[in-house]
Chain A
Amino acid sequence: MSQQRADGQHRCGAAVDGSSLVERFRAGVVAAASNYHQLADWPAVADHAVAHGDAVAIAPSLAAFEPALIGLLEQAGARVVVPDGADPAAAVAEVPVAIVRGELAIAETGSVLVAEHTLGDRVVTMLCRRLIQVVAAEQLVSRLEDAASWLEDRGGQPGFASLMTGPSRTADIERSLTIGVQGPDHVDVVVLSSIGAHTPIGGPSS
């Protein structure tokens, strides 16, 4: 058995296990059948989204966090939907691509922790066929315990925090793995070189 031991305290990109956090995270993402992308900034995210559909939904919490994204997407030629009205599900029903922001990226499992408290935030991760999950490089953490600390820090405030690891799938018929059941069937995990200096790790998004 290996004596290497992942250290739960690592919250930066330092090397653990002889490979960097980002390398371990990427391996987990790929193993979970998501697509891994490293992009420079939000304009690059907008271009990536528009390449996959002419309409793009963005989570209301992301629209509040990064207001410029709406304009970037529109400039790139997309119809932008922010489902914060009376019927969020209907608003995104025919929208092929959605963008959400992750709170943490967990190297151990290749998971992105997404906080989705409002109905508007929830419908984008559940109803659109392609989901783009954006995290900043400095949001990479090592272990599931780091996600536990994030939850703990919220002190029981109402919320819906989801560790998402790959596109939805089933093996319920003869154990045959089929990607895409109720949730998205394509997931792009985007690691931004920097999401902006004002990003508080573990900060509220909802």
Chain B
Amino acid sequence: MSVRPFDERYAAALADSDVRAGLTAFQRGWRDNRDQAIASLEQQEGRSFDELRAELAAIKDGVIADWSTYLDRFEANATAAGAEVTRVSTPGEANAHITSLIQAAGASLVVKGKSMVSEEIGLNEHLEANGITPVETDLGEWILQLAHEAPSHLVMPAIHKRKERIAALFERVLDREFPPDDIDRMVKAARTELRDRFLSSGVGLSGANALVAEGGSVMLVCNEGNNRMSVALPPVHVVTAGIEKLVPTYADAMKQVRLLGRSATAQPITVYTNFVTGPRPGQRQHIVLIDNGRTAMAEDPDVAAALRCIRCGACANVCPPYGVVGGHAFGHVYTGAIGLVNTAFHHGMEAAAGPQSLCVSCGACAEVCPVDIPLPVQILEVRRKAVESDTSVPAGRATGLAIEVFRHRKLFGAGMRVAGVLSAPWRRDTVTSFPSVLTSRGSLRTATSWRTPPAIPPRPARDTLKPGRLEEPPRLAEQPLAGRRVQLFLQCLSDRLAPDIPVATAKLLRAAGADVRVPHDQHCCGLPAYDAGEHHVARDLVRQTMDTLSDVDDVVTPASSCLAMLGHDAPHLLRSDVDEVERAQELAGRTYDLVGYLTKGPGRLPAGSLDDGDRTPVTVHRFCQASNTLERDDAIERLLTDVAGAPVVPLPEAAECCGFGGSTSVRHPEVAAGILDRKLGCVDETGSSILITDNPGCILHLRGGAHASGRQIRVVHLAEYLAGRVAGAAERASRR
């Protein structure tokens, strides 16, 4: 099925309210089940998920490193077992060859097991154009074939369709009654409708979940039984597989089995795991091995690890924007995070460019990937290539212009001051509430209806924090930071839009005894430019930041996104220069976000030291990158409970992105609004009116969303919350 342009797919996904409702429920349920399945695997194996996936990743990497040897070995063994193996480069060659095999068999009807590679090469369209009728036999694929739609998920192809739509489709096509609540009847219809096809088809087509080099076996997994029937019963079996599907041994295949089922559907193993070695007596077997960009991927170190992919779909199942728009928009033929990477190689950069800015860079995909593909970094690399290759949409160039202004600290600062003066009449506490006459229509409505813009304060934090301007805060009874020189990295966004955050951070650190300094030349860690694919700007900003932050013990920032940038992304960005990488690592080694500084760094505060007696319940949003990239656990919750004495109500989906990440909230506000709505809905579930988190971008975004939706939720940075308790705690301590 040919894929429509991205803008059309995106608009259609937003217009279909079923997509979001169904996917949100699916993602929640999947995550719980998958986490349980992985936990029990860890217990069974006595090894961590990270160890197990590193092992499988090494197996797959080892194949790519010695690719031709394994391909030859597989071909020799499969041939010895009676298969005919053909290697092809392009989809055109694959389609022509498969068509000729079917024609040679004299078949006009073929049954198909679920195969993503057949979607990749557009096999069905090609067969139909040649007078051959392909029948999909996987229930989800069959539904989509009847509906003339493409899969929206690697494993659950029809996950975007509600049962009411499927029932209506069946009534129309099969001409009998299907009550929407009788799913069993719909499932049984697939059995009765397809049974004869399996038995009368001249050719069965399948993909492969793995190709076992040592035995020449094709591994195929399925739950319904359709896949094995497609390959086992017809007199001709044609396998189409990407050449990255190789594993050396059966034992290696079993390691894949252990992680595949659990990562796909939270099953320890699928109902059927078949090892097909050659044809059965009276059958012919053809195996078509296709490259279609895979060799090029292997040669590109930025994306080579994506060839490890075992098509489990886990990266989509945790992806917040996927949860809003589904796979037809988030991806191309391949959906989810992996689709944002491999599409560029299988279908071209133009096909890959559209969905790029849907990614919020939350890092959740990398956490659950069973072969440890560094998807967030790879997506940013493909985005850079898209920006550089000029296939980017016009909005990309507008972002580029904004980044160009932003990179100049003084120009940006002057602009923000002017904006602060102009917007002053509508400044309301932390937001700018424009009159409805301005925001009731047009682009301003799109931009503000779901998220009230932040207030632009008259004075940036850097001015307030100039020496002598701030009165000395009360000191804590115990001061773990006494004698330490701490440089405060303000973070560009909070400096100008939420100065209370860095100011509160400075107060808190001083209360704990630190000598806090605020270098005036500091600007930005480079993250916004990196997210936008403007890597040269990002590199300049990282270098400027390294120049600024020298000559002190510790660097502390209230923004953990900056730490993720300096610690993880900067060394990657600067990788062509060893000295600069070393410099970045040196800086990262003494840079902390506030949470890390107070829990794992020199600033560990004694239990109860910030307890002012207030017992109002709070809830905590865990900044997604801190959880996924910096591997932070429940550190904020523990700080609040143990050090501040505050009761914490657990937030459902606490570590899910709030929708601020990447450039999504600018480029695709509808998606960011959907993610934000899900997050605020979770806050509603806690009943708490105080939401605490520690990344300034999230805070501005959440404040705007709470205001626009009329919620009475106070969104505060951890620093603001803790600094607000210093005086009370100091007084309480003195009374004891």
Contacts and interface: CB of A to CB of B under 8 A. Distances in A.
Interface of A: 1-6, 28, 31-32, 89, 108-109, 111, 116-119, 122-123, 126, 143-145, 147-149, 151-152, 154-176, 178, 180-184
B183 A144 contact: no
A105 to B, nearest CB: 13
B272 A6 contact: no
Given A181-B224, A183-B228, 13 more contacts: A6-B45, A89-B233, A148-B249, A152-B214, A158-B279, A162-B272, A162-B275, A165-B268, A174-B162, A178-B183, A180-B188, A181-B190, A182-B226
Please classify how large the interface on chain B is, using the bins under 10, 10 to 19, 20 to 34, 35 or more: 35 or more
A174 B22 contact: yes
B42 interface: yes
Interface stretch (B77-85, B101-109, B396-404, B429-437): B77-85
Contacts of B552: none
A31 B44 CA distance: 15
B216 interface: yes
Interface string B7-48: 000000000000000100010010000000000001111101
Contacts of B194: 182
B224 A160 contact: no
Contacts of B212: 151
B274 A178 contact: no
B216 A156 contact: yes
Interface string B522-554: 000000000000000000000000000000000
A59 B600 CA distance: 64
A171 B156 contact: yes
B51 to A, nearest CB: 11
A169 B223 contact: yes
Interface in B273-332: 273-283
A182 B215 contact: no
A126 B80 contact: no
A163 B269 contact: yes
B233 A122 contact: yes
A157 to B, nearest CB: 7
A170 B223 contact: yes
B166 A173 contact: yes
Given A126-B233, A172-B138, A181-B187, A156 B214 contact: yes
B270 A165 contact: yes
B357 interface: no
B470 interface: no
B438 interface: no
A148 B253 contact: yes
B269 A126 contact: no
B156 A175 contact: yes
Interface string B214-231: 111100000111101100
Q: Classify the interface of chain A: helix, strand, loop or mixed.
A: loop
B197 to A, nearest CB: 11
Nearest to A166: B271
Contacts of B274: 160-163
Interface of B: 22, 26, 29, 42-46, 48, 77, 80-82, 137-140, 143, 156-159, 161-163, 166, 183-184, 186-188, 190-191, 194-195, 198-199, 212, 214-217, 223-226, 228-229, 232-233, 249-251, 253-254, 257-258, 265, 268-283
Contacts, number: 195
Q: Nearest 7 CB-CB pairs, A to B?
A: A183-B225, A158-B278, A148-B250, A172-B140, A168-B225, A181-B224, A144-B254
Nearest to A144: B254
A116 B275 CA distance: 10
Given A158-B82, A171-B156, A173-B187, A1 B48 contact: yes
Contacts of A159: 275, 277-278
B81 A156 contact: yes
B463 to A, nearest CB: 51
Contacts of B45: 5-6
B26 A175 contact: yes
A148 B198 CA distance: 29
From B77, B156, B162, B163, name the one whose CB has the most chain A CB atoms within 10 angstroms: B156
B250 A152 contact: yes
A175 B29 contact: yes
B258 A144 contact: yes
A174 B46 contact: no
A181 B273 contact: no
A175 B425 CA distance: 52
Contact of A156 (B80, B157, B233): B80
Contact of A117 (B26, B272, B281): B281
21 contacts: A6-B45, A119-B232, A126-B225, A126-B228, A147-B254, A151-B217, A152-B214, A152-B250, A156-B80, A158-B280, A163-B269, A165-B270, A171-B156, A173-B158, A175-B29, A176-B183, A178-B187, A180-B187, A180-B191, A182-B198, A183-B229
Contact of A160 (B22, B143, B276): B276
Contact of B190 (A1, A147, A176, A182): A182
A174 B139 CA distance: 12
Contacts of B226: 181-182
Contacts of A148: 249-251, 253-254
A157 B281 CA distance: 12
A123 B233 contact: yes
Given A173-B139, A174-B162, A122 B224 contact: no
Contacts of B225: 126, 168, 181-184
A175 B190 CA distance: 16
A86 B186 CA distance: 33
Contacts of B272: 162-165, 168, 183
Contacts of A172: 138-140, 143, 156-158, 224
Nearest to B225: A183
Contact of A162 (B43, B81, B199, B273): B273
A2 B46 contact: yes
B191 A182 contact: yes
B191 A165 contact: no
B270 to A, nearest CB: 7
A72 B468 CA distance: 99
From B137, B183, B198, name the one whose CB has the most chain A CB atoms within 10 angstroms: B183
A155 B278 CA distance: 12
B233 A171 contact: no
B277 A170 contact: no
Contact of B215 (A156, A162, A184): A156
A134 B269 CA distance: 20
A118 B625 CA distance: 53
A160 B186 contact: no
A8 B594 CA distance: 46
A174 B163 contact: yes
B232 A126 contact: yes
Contacts of B277: 154, 156-161
Contacts of B157: 172
A73 B574 CA distance: 75
B163 A119 contact: no
A39 B190 CA distance: 35
A48 B229 CA distance: 27
A122 B199 CA distance: 12
Nearest to B141: A172
B271 A158 contact: no
A162 B265 contact: no
